[in-house]
């Protein structure tokens, strides 16, 4: 039996309250599909990194963590910038992940590329 790897998708967030519900929906569907296909470990996660948002971004992440097993988040103490938020997420995820993918919360990149 081949063991599938644990995937963490890191999503840096700065004032993303307007897009987060759709982001969780789309990326959650991708995780579910990959798990069903046996391509990733069922413990795979979306890791949202709140980069000092001034809106309700962090509260949404906390709510998603309560409602979805595949969502987790970390909160930075202030805004450190996009690249530092990515680095914080990768530094966290490398401890437990076999594969890490990063994507912006607005999903302007092609999310279907995750399947590859």
Closest CA to 13 of 66, 80, 70: 80
Closest CA to 30 of 105, 114, 116: 114
pLDDT band at 116 (very low <50, low <70, confident <90, very high): confident
Long-range CB pairs of 31-38 (<8 Å, 24+ gap) are 31/7, 31/70, 32/70, 33/115, 34/7, 34/114, 34/115, 38/4
Is a pLDDT exceeding 90 seen at residue 4? no
Phi and psi (nearest 5°) for 102? -115, 145
Residues in the chain: 116
DSSP 70: T
Domains and CATH numbers, the chain: 7-115 (3.90.550.10)
pLDDT tens figures, 64-95: 999 999 999 999 999 999 999 999 999 999 99
Is a pLDDT exceeding 80 seen at residue 2? no
* pLDDT at res. 11: 98
């Amino acid at each position: 039996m081949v063991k599938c790897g644990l995937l963490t998708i890191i999503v840096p967030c700065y004032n993303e309250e307007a897009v987060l519900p759709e982001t969780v929906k789309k990326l959650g569907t991708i995780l579910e599909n990959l798990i069903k296909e046996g391509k990733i470990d069922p413990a795979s996660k979306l890791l949202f990194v709140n980069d000092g948002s001034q809106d309700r971004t962090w509260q949404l992440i906390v709510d998603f963590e309560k409602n979805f097993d595949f969502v987790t988040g970390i909160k930075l103490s202030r805004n450190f910038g996009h690249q530092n938020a990515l680095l914080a997420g990768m530094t966290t995820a490398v401890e437990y992940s076999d594969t890490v993918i990063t994507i912006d919360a607005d999903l302007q990149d092609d999310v279907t590329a995750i399947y590859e």
